[in-house]
Structures are given as C-alpha cells and as structure tokens.
C-alpha cells in the first residue's frame, strides 16, 4: 500500500531559478534543487515541461539558482510560484541583475546565489531533471534559507500542481 502522506516527511528548500533565451528572461519557484556531487560541484533540479522556464533552460543551457530567505516577501514568492512568464513580466518590478551567463540574480529576499551550466538532462515524462555544474556563486546575506516546511507551516502558502512534490489528495 502506498501511503502518500509518508512522502510529506521529506524535507526541501525553496529556490527561485532563472534562465534566459537571448535577451528574454524566465524564472520560477522550485523546491527541488539538490546537490549531487562535491567534485565537481554539481546540482540537479526537476522542472515541469509546462513551465516557461523549462523552454528557456533548454534554449540557454544555463540556470541561476537564488536560495530564498525566510524573510522573503510573499508577493515575490507568489509572482514566481503561481504566475507564468507567458502572462506577466516577472522581472519588471523585481530588483535583479544578470549573472555571468545572463541569467537573473534576484537582489531581494535571497541569501545566496549560484550560476549553473546544464551538463545533462534526464527526461522524467512530466518533468526534466536538469543536472548542472555550479561555476560561480556568492553569499548575499547571513539570513536563514527558507525550508518547504516553513513555506507551508509559517507562511501558510500552498504548493503548485507543477511542483514534482504536488499531491492531489482526491486521487489517494
């Protein structure tokens, strides 16, 4: 028997990933950035094929990861986590600057940032796991990184159907 609530006990962080296609930028909220190896410094992230950000990662071959601060404002998280860049310009009123690849580093509500080059894609049907080498990084401030548990229990915010960890309880 599969008790899906057992998976609720998995721990995650909260991240804003960004990507670019020429002069255009995309970005979304994810909870699935994880480190894979130390040498080389390599991370993975699972991205829904429905997200605009997926197309931009494919086009540019790079990703910037912004590690979200516990103190980040809810509207910033809402804009990146529940809206699509196909409908709004997520960067118009967001303080940000470009990293070494041309992906956006967010200047508000983040504790650290790293620039990643995609080295492999793993097709997972609804999602692609992008495996990336981290080629540049910096600490923004000494605040606490937001956990997924904090996002749900303290911020009282909800997941998205495009998150790989989304659970439709009606099906279980």
Ligand X SMILES: Cc1cc2nc3c(=O)[nH]c(=O)nc-3n(C[C@H](O)[C@H](O)[C@H](O)COP(=O)(O)O)c2cc1C
Q: What is the contact surface with ligand X in residues (CB under 6 A)?
A: 26, 28-32, 46-48, 51-53, 81-85, 151, 159-160, 162-164
Q: Residue 145 or 164: which CB sits closer to ligand X?
A: 164
DSSP 43: E
The whole-angstrom separation of Cα 152 and Cα 36 is: 25
User: What is the closest distance, in whole angstroms, from the C-beta atom of residue 39 to ligand X in the complex?
Assistant: 25
- Which lies closer to ligand X via its Cβ, residue 14 or residue 111? 14
Please list the alpha-helical segments (H only) found in the chain: 52-60, 74-82, 148-153
Write down the least CB distance from residue 105 to ligand X, Å: 17
Q: How far is the CB of 38 from ligand X (least distance, A)?
A: 22
Q: How far apart are CA 143 and CA 15, in angstroms?
A: 14
39 or 144: CB nearest ligand X: 144
3-state secondary structure of 79: helix
């Amino acid at each position: 028997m599969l008790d899906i609530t057992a998976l609720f006990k998995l721990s995650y962080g909260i991240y804003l990933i960004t990507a670019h296609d020429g002069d255009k930028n995309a970005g979304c909220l994810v909870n699935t950035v994880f480190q894979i190896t130390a040498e080389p410094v390599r991370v993975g992230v699972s991205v829904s094929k429905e997200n605009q950000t997926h197309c931009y990662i494919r086009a540019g071959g790079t990703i910037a990861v912004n590690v979200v601060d516990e103190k980040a404002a809810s509207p910033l998280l809402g804009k990146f986590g529940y809206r699509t860049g196909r409908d709004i310009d997520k960067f118009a009123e967001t303080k940000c600057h470009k990293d070494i690849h041309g992906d956006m580093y967010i200047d508000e509500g983040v504790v650290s940032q790293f620039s990643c080059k995609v080295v492999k894609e793993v097709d997972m049907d609804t999602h692609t796991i992008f495996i990336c080498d981290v080629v540049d990084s910096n600490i923004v401030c000494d605040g606490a990184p937001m956990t997924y548990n904090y996002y749900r229990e303290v911020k009282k915010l909800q997941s998205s159907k495009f998150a790989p960890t989304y659970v439709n309880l009606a099906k279980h």
